[in-house]
Chain A
Amino acid sequence: MTASGAVLETRALVAGYLPEVDILHGVEVRVAEGEIVTIVGPNGAGKSTLVRSICGLLPPRSGSVLYRGEDISRAKAHAIVRKGVGYVPQLDNVFVSMTVEENLELGAIARPGTQLQERLEMIYGLFPRLAERRRQRAGTLSGGERQMLAMARTLVPEPDVLVLDEPSSGLAPTLVAAVFERIAAINRTGVTILMVEQNARRALAMSHRGYVLDLGCNRFEGEGRELLEDPKVIELYLGRDPRGVGGRRAPRGHEAGA
């Protein structure tokens, strides 16, 4: 895979939390302008570690993270956000003691000179539920509403890339569909998306490309559909289609309607 034209790219990324224990062993991921790229893999594959390293919350031990060709692997998290890479953590991703509107206002700090009122109107258009709750403390929101607020806050400074860590985690199945729809809608406005997902089938179905990560190493990569239909990927990582009777058959048709 060539490096040219990538918005966001990791090269031989090695990272971990405990001394001497690496979780990522040279991961290579590449996201091109306008793409939705999903990283899937079993628990402990290092998916969250990867996005935390990309976003500056966990400095890599070696290798590099490139944003439009510039090495950002030593930059602080807030500086990376200010460059245009927004990050939505998996858990604890809203300021619970602050109101919905205050949460959104904080998003504007990443881009000085943001026309806050204009941005808020646009965001409330995209997430009408948040407009209804603008004066409410974020801690009183439901799980789905929090996920929306976290995404909305990250969109306030108009990022070029949105990095999402398990956006569907802990949500009811009906909400999962709504969240994925919102992600697709955000992508259509020109925002490049890199996400990590536990809900692999659904996420790959809506992605341009995907990576399968296991034990901190790249295992497979390809177009979203291609991965979904790859017998090896299905056998090792996707498991039985929970809705299919016959189990391991390629889920063509099932996911297309989702």
Chain B
Amino acid sequence: MQSARALGAQQRRLREAVRTRPALAGSAFFLAIAIGLLITNGPNVFGQTTVFGIVSGSYFALGAVGLTLVYGVLRLVNFAHGDFLTFGAYMAFVINVTLGLPLIFAIPFAIATTAAIGVGLELLMWRPMRAKGAGMLPLLLMSIGLAFVIRNGIQMVAGTGQRNLRVNLTSTIAFVGLRIGRTELIVVATSVVVLTLIGLMLRYTSLGKQMRALADNFDLAEATGIDTNRIVLATWLLAGGLAGLAGVLYASAVGTFTPDLGFLLLLSLFAAVVLGGIGDAYGALAGGFLLGLIQEWSTLVIDARWKIAVGFAALILTLVLRPQGIFGRARTI
């Protein structure tokens, strides 16, 4: 009896902790799983899987940050965001394979062209629709339609077959018994550097503060003297650029890609966005890495074929327990 009551009290305390300190409770839970997997699988296998998780997390995070920024600022769920990644990968292919130039030239080209697509679509589609006061549903349908247009457009021009970038996928670097591909290391490093810069930009620069102001209260931002159209344009530039970069990094890390790249990745990006709290750029960043780790770690327990399903199971669980995301604060006060 005594112990049952103690257990009850403990449970209450635990529930209280989950409610008041979600990030801490989430991290503790996550750490417990990591330690469990480390003990059952040994440091080598666990470490190697973690490395894979960080690699996929790095392009998840890049894609998710752009997706969540657009949602945060415009309340637009952009189903075409995944196809922005595909577009970036194919633009890199043009430079890297068709023209035969090194990847270092292909990456900026992919970023610039995908950012241009983001800006162009804002001017052609989204801004006129906003001026008309279009509701959420028409915008959602337009973004779904746009996704098909981009994907089919790429298929029309480049065909549906598999493509490869000219990257070195065989050379690896060993580090305390763990192996990471040289390309994968570049992917992770690039993503970490870029995401850190984006995080600092949002936190400290005037542009970042204005973007956060729009995400907080669009009309008030305009009434405060912020040129909202200009900031929206900057948001698309950033989201498009990040998507282009994520596309190239994905194509480089995985080695092969098809026009379905972004479409297949899109749901994972949404999962990362929701894990971190919709509209929260820092949350999406963490959510991306978290999703990568969850998916790869799951392969230690069950067959790798099901890792995507595991990622989504984690997403559903998060939504049931904390609809505002692991790090999200309730938006209404």
Chain A interface (Cβ < 8 Å from any Cβ of B): 55, 57, 76-78, 81-82, 87, 89, 92-98, 102, 105-107, 109-111, 139, 153-154, 157
The number of A-B residue pairs with CB atoms under 8 Å apart is: 68
Q: Complex Cα distance A179/B229, Å?
A: 33
B223 on the A face (CB < 8 A): yes
Q: Looking at the complex, which of B26-34, B214-222, B289-297, B308-316 is the stretch in contact with chain A?
A: B214-222
Which stretch from B88-96, B170-178, B205-213 is at the chain A interface? B205-213
- Give the distance in Å from the alpha carbon of A77 to the alpha carbon of B222 in the complex: 6
Chain B residues at the A interface, C-beta cutoff of 8 Å:
206, 209-210, 212-213, 215-217, 219-228, 329, 333
Q: Is the CB of A98 within 8 A of B209?
A: yes
Complex-state Cα separation, A57 to B223, whole angstroms: 7
Across the interface, which residues of A come within 8 angstroms of B225, CB to CB? Answer: 78, 81-82, 107, 109-111, 157
| Bound form: Cα–Cα A35–B224 in Å | 23
Please name the residue on chain A nearest to B219 by beta carbon: A57
Bound: A149/B223 CA distance, A:
15
Question: Could you tell me the distance in whole angstroms from the C-beta of B61 to the nearest C-beta in chain A?
Answer: 21
Contact B210 A77 (CB under 8 A): no
A110 to B333, CA, bound (A): 27
**Closest residue of A by beta carbon distance from B229:** A76
- Whether the Cβ atoms of A98 and B228 lie closer than 8 Å is no
Give Cα A16–Cα B217 distance, bound, in whole angstroms: 22
Quote the shortest CB–CB distance from B20 to chain A (angstroms): 15
* A78 engages B227 (CB within 8 Å): yes
What would 13 A/B residue contacts be, using CB atoms closer than 8 Å? A55-B223, A57-B222, A95-B212, A95-B216, A95-B220, A97-B212, A97-B329, A98-B209, A102-B212, A105-B209, A107-B225, A109-B210, A111-B225
Assess the A153–B224 pair: CB atoms within 8 A: yes
By a CB distance below 8 angstroms, the chain B residues around A82 are 225
- The 10 nearest A-B residue pairs measured at CB: A110-B225, A81-B225, A95-B216, A77-B222, A139-B333, A97-B216, A78-B225, A87-B223, A78-B227, A77-B223
| A contact residues around B220 at 8 Å (CB) | 89, 92-95
Contacting residues, chain A, for B215 (C-beta < 8 A): 97
| Contact, CB under 8 Å: B228 / A106 | no
CB closest chain-B residue, reference A82 = B225
Q: Across the interface, do B222 and A98 meet the contact criterion of CB distance under 8 Å?
A: no
Q: How far, in whole Å, are A78 and B219 apart by their CA atoms in the complex?
A: 10
Alpha-carbon gap, A215 to B227, bound state (A)? 33
Chain B residues whose CB sits within 8 angstroms of the CB of A106 once the complex forms:
209-210, 213, 221, 224, 226
Within the complex, the shortest CB–CB distance from A87 to chain B, in Å, comes to 5
Complex Cα gap A94–B223 (Å): 11
Docked CA distance A157–B225 (Å) = 9
Partner of A92, one of B217, B226, B329: B217
The smallest beta-carbon distance between A11 and chain B, in angstroms, is: 23
The docked-state distance in angstroms from the alpha carbon of A157 to that of B219 is 18
Central interface residue in A77, A89, A153, A157, by most chain B CB within 10 Å: A77
- A95 & B222 in contact (Cβ 8 Å cutoff): no
Give 18 new A-B contacts, CB below 8 A, not counting A76-B222, A81-B223, A95-B212. Answer: A78-B226, A81-B225, A87-B223, A89-B219, A92-B217, A95-B216, A95-B217, A96-B216, A96-B333, A98-B209, A102-B209, A105-B206, A105-B209, A107-B225, A109-B224, A109-B225, A110-B225, A157-B225
Closest to A102 in B: B209
Across the interface, A98 reaches (CB within 8 A) one of B213, B223, B226, namely B213
Minimum CB distance partner of A76 in chain B:
B222
Residues of B within 8 A of A76 (CB): 222, 227
